Amino acid sequence: MAHATLAPSSISRVIRCPGSAIPNAEAPSNPSFPAARGTAIHEMCEQLLKDRLDGITLSDYWLGRTVELEGFAIEIGQEEIDIAETYVNYIRQRTEELNGKLLIEEKLYMNEISDDCWGTSDAVILGEGNRMVVADLKSGNFPVDVNFNEQLMTYSLGALARFGNENTVIEMTIIQPSKKSFHKDGPIRSFDIQAVDLVDWGFNILKPACEEALGEDPTYNAGDWCRFCAYKPDCVTFQNNLEVKQ
């Protein structure tokens, strides 16, 4: 599967370390069990939302099954079922509340930022009254904040460009039902951003970082964002920062 050089999932790191973008895009794929498990849960959600189970429940079809993904054997237990059902129930409920149109696994392009900035959003709800929901399912154990979440803001720019207008309010939502990922704001948390504020961030923060990332001499900066960077074993800036800390 092709991945964008400036993918929304890594944009928080790119903004802080533009030099990391190309090395990570060129690095060989490094599958992990959590990522493979997340892929399985997303497949379950898509089946439910697209009514592909033909009259049987998610548990009937999935519970107890072992699926092979990215070289890992993923055993589907009750926790995986609960995560998928929590996500699907919320997305359906919010779509109904907004009398909206639901777009599932929608590919979004941020061409006004960069042709290399694009990705697939878990769910976009086009609601009435200039309200749009951009939702992301998180199946990992590390709690993710939704306020000014840069991954969701990047997806939201693509959704706004395609479906919205200057009066649109984007409701960014993280659904993270795992009991191991406790967050003080609960498993489902949302943050509203106005179109004008989102566009301002896009052109004043995101676009310059993307342009630098694809330029001839991007800067490298070390910090918490290095955690999942594939380039850090060879990164002089990261290694120097590591030596300073020691």
* Residue 86 to residue 177: CA distance in whole angstroms: 7
* Residue 16 to residue 226: CA distance in whole angstroms: 10
User: Does residue 5 fall inside a structural domain?
Assistant: no
pLDDT value for 24: 95
User: Does residue 147 fall inside a structural domain?
Assistant: yes
Structurally, the chain folds into a number of domains equal to 1
User: Does residue 122 fall inside a structural domain?
Assistant: yes
Per-residue pLDDT of the chain (246 residues; tens, 9 = 90+): 457 999 999 999 999 999 999 999 999 888 899 999 999 999 999 999 999 988 899 999 999 999 999 999 999 999 999 999 999 999 999 999 999 999 999 999 999 999 999 999 999 999 999 999 999 999 988 899 999 999 999 999 999 999 999 999 999 999 999 888 889 999 999 999 999 999 999 999 999 999 999 999 999 999 999 999 999 999 999 999 876 664
User: Does residue 18 fall inside a structural domain?
Assistant: no
Q: What range does the domain containing 101 cover?
A: 24-215
User: Does residue 221 fall inside a structural domain?
Assistant: no
User: Does residue 28 fall inside a structural domain?
Assistant: yes
* Residue 124 to residue 155: CA distance in whole angstroms: 9
pLDDT value for 2: 59
User: Does residue 238 fall inside a structural domain?
Assistant: no
pLDDT value for 180: 84
pLDDT value for 29: 81
How many CB atoms are located within 10 Å of the residue 10 CB?
Answer: 24
User: Does residue 67 fall inside a structural domain?
Assistant: yes
For position 33, which CATH number holds? 3.90.320
